[in-house]
Structures are given as structure tokens and as C-alpha cells.
Amino acid sequence: MKVTINDVARHAGVSIKTVSRVMNNEPSVRKDTCDKVMAAINELQYQPNAAARNLASSRSFSIGYIYDNPNAYYVIDMQRGLLDACRKHGYELLIHPTNAKSPDIVQEVIDLVQQSRLAGLVLTPPFSEMPHIAAALESIGVHFVRIISGSTPSPKLSNCVLVDDFTAAFKITTHLLELGHTDIAFLCGDEEHSSSGERLAGYQAALAKRNIAPNPKFIVPGSYSFESGVQGAKQLMALAKKPSAIFACNDEIAAGALFSARLMNIAIPQQLAIAGFENSPFSRQTWPPLTTAHQPNVTIAQQAAELLFRHTKPNASKTLSDKQPVFIPELVVRESTAVSES
């Protein structure tokens, strides 16, 4: 039989209302009573139903995750991290895919929050980089946390988790330079994502440090998709002066570039080195496996949720809420850029 709040109350020798107050972290409950109730909850392994708590309380026990991202692996990792944090804190997660380019996107987000009674939202690109979304949420008093590309915490970017794409891209490009490559091409992601610009800037900075001027023809606009990598590699390898290495803005683009190169009978990495970004399953499922930057998306999502709960939970410490975690994706070297010694 499923353990109920009535069972917890009987076990602790208190009223149901007292159990509810303890679960809602209300300050009026004495410490010894709170300890008894928490002991009963742990002994009985009581799991409160967030949906029922939403209906019975003026508080909400649900948060939302809205997304418009073509990378399924990224979305799945985000969901995993958010769900882990929600289970830890007794919250439900509402997942809402949508179109960031819709002319009604602001109203859609507001309607979602109000109709679903959400306690807050976690925003990932491109929503986290849209000032009008943030302004709309602030206007209705909704808590939110943004996951954005950046390296320097700023008071102007409160409640953010930063991913330092610039530094990671600098490291990947430096790795290619240290292998002796100077003709390094860059396949861009969607321009509306800040990560694309940050990764491009990191690539350019690494070249500049070696006094290498980037060839404009080696920087190819595109999107975060396999097909974009296929077409980008075709375009680059049709040039009279061809690159000896390609740095793609994510693993899906890199996998497409590798596929295209194999169709052109180009040996990887002997004739062309290819690197990606994010360390998604794409990077491990290609042959040869892709050099990339490991981006811990599950952990990033967990941190974003923890940051959000500091606002949504009563009596939570507000002193920690301004801290902006910064994640630097780590270089992972595989056979797509370096010949295996085995």
C-alpha cells in the first residue's frame, strides 16, 4: 500500500496539518516536532505527490522546461538533470517543446506558466538568450534560471548557469595547432545561439595567438545539424586551397563532416582532422571517434534546478542564489584528430 500523509502523521504522533507545515518548511514548527516528522517520513519512505500538493496548497510544486533545440541528445540530458533535481526536492517537471521563432512565443510562455501554475522555469538556448522572454517572466513575478554561453559572471545576468564555450573552443583549436595544422576551418552552428558566436570567437583567438589570420573561406555558416556538416565539408573540400583540419560547432555537425569526407575518400585524420563539441553520443558512434569537448549537460541542468529551488522553496537561503556556476567543457582527444598508437 502506498504510504500517505495520514500514515506519517500517525507515526510521528502529530496532526496532518503539522506534517504539511513541515513539508512546506514553515518556520512556525518547533525543531523537535520537525525532527519527529522528518524521521517518520524517512522511516516510511513517504513520497509526496506534487500534483496533489499543488491543488491543496497555494504553493506550486512544479517547474517547467521549455525548449526549441534540434539536438535530441542535449534535450534528453537536460531532462535527466532536471528530473534528478526535482525528485530530490519533491517537485514535478513539465516539459514543453515549442517554436522559439513563433510571433506568439511570449504569450505562449506566459500562458504555460499561469495555466500550469508553475513555480518557475529553466530556460536553455535560444530562450535563455531572448531578453523579451526574461522581461515577460519578470513582469508576472515568475522565477527563472537561464543556461547561457558565457565565461564571466555578471550582476546583469542574475540567476544564470554559464557554459564557457569560448575557453573550450580555444583549447580545441590549440590542440589542432599543436598537431601542426594551420589551415583550420570552422563550421558554424545556428547564429541565433550565443554558443555559436562564443565558439567561433574561441577558434579565432587561438589562431590569433599564433599570429595566424583566419581564411574567411574557412568559416562556413550553418546550423546545429548533421546535414549542415555534410554540406559544409563539401563546400570546404571543393576549395582550391583546402583545410587540413575542421573544427565543427557541435558533434552532430562534425559527424556530418566526417561522413562527407568518407564519401570523398578522404582519410581521417591522415588527410583531414575533424573535431566536434559537446561529447554527445555522436562523438562516440562515428568512426573514427571524434575529438570533442565534454559538456556535462546533466550536471549543468541539475545546477540550474538547484539555483531555481533557492527561489521557489520557502525559507531557502537567498545568499547563494546570486552565485553563477561556470562550466568549462573539457577537451577529449580521440582518433579523428590523432592517429591511434595501438
| d(C-alpha 327, C-alpha 209), whole Å | 23
Same domain, 178 and 265: yes
Nearest CA among 274, 275, 310, 306 for reference residue 293: 275
Same domain, 170 and 275: yes
Q: Residue 234 in contact with residue 227, Cβ under 8 Å?
A: no
Q: Residue 71: what pLDDT?
A: 79
Q: Residue 206: what pLDDT?
A: 98
Portion of the chain with pLDDT greater than 70, in percent: 88
Same domain, 289 and 170: yes
Confidence band of 25 (pLDDT split at 50, 70, 90)? low
Cis, bond preceding 70 (omega within 30 deg of 0): no
Backbone angles phi, psi at 307, to 5 degrees: -65, -40
Same domain, 98 and 180: no
Same domain, 91 and 202: no
Confidence band of 321 (pLDDT split at 50, 70, 90)? very low
Confidence band of 324 (pLDDT split at 50, 70, 90)? confident
Most confident among 47-56, 168-177, 189-198, 309-318 (mean pLDDT): 168-177
pLDDT above 90: residue 311: no
The answer to the question of residue 231 being in a domain is yes
Interhelix angle 16-23/31-44, nearest 10 degrees: 90
Q: Residue 169 in contact with residue 200, Cβ under 8 Å?
A: yes
pLDDT digits (tens, 9 = 90+) for 223-255: 999 999 999 999 999 999 999 999 999 999 999
Domain containing 229 — which CATH number? 3.40.50.2300
Same domain, 91 and 109: yes
The answer to the question of residue 340 being in a domain is no
The answer to the question of residue 84 being in a domain is yes
pLDDT above 90: residue 18: no
Same domain, 314 and 260: no
| d(C-alpha 212, C-alpha 278), whole Å | 26
Residue-range definition of the domain harbouring residue 16:
5-48
Same domain, 308 and 258: no
Beta strands in 127-284 (DSSP E): 143-149, 160-163, 184-187, 219-220, 245-248, 273-275
pLDDT digits (tens, 9 = 90+) for 117-159: 899 999 999 999 898 898 888 888 889 999 999 877 666 666 8
Q: Residue 222: what pLDDT?
A: 96
The answer to the question of residue 55 being in a domain is no
Most confident among 17-21, 145-149, 155-159, 316-320 (mean pLDDT): 145-149
The answer to the question of residue 54 being in a domain is no
pLDDT above 90: residue 315: no
pTM of the model: 0.78
The answer to the question of residue 285 being in a domain is yes
pLDDT digits (tens, 9 = 90+) for 28-68: 788 888 888 888 888 888 766 554 444 444 567 889 999 98
Q: Residue 330 belongs to what H/E stretch?
A: strand 330-332
pLDDT digits (tens, 9 = 90+) for 77-98: 999 999 999 988 888 999 999 9
Q: Residue 54: what pLDDT?
A: 46
Q: Residue 174 in contact with residue 142, Cβ under 8 Å?
A: no
pLDDT digits (tens, 9 = 90+) for 249-273: 999 999 999 999 999 999 999 999 9
Same domain, 160 and 301: yes
Please tell me the total count of domains within the chain.
3
The answer to the question of residue 53 being in a domain is no
Same domain, 102 and 214: no
What rounded mean pLDDT belongs to the chain? 88
Q: Residue 250: what pLDDT?
A: 95
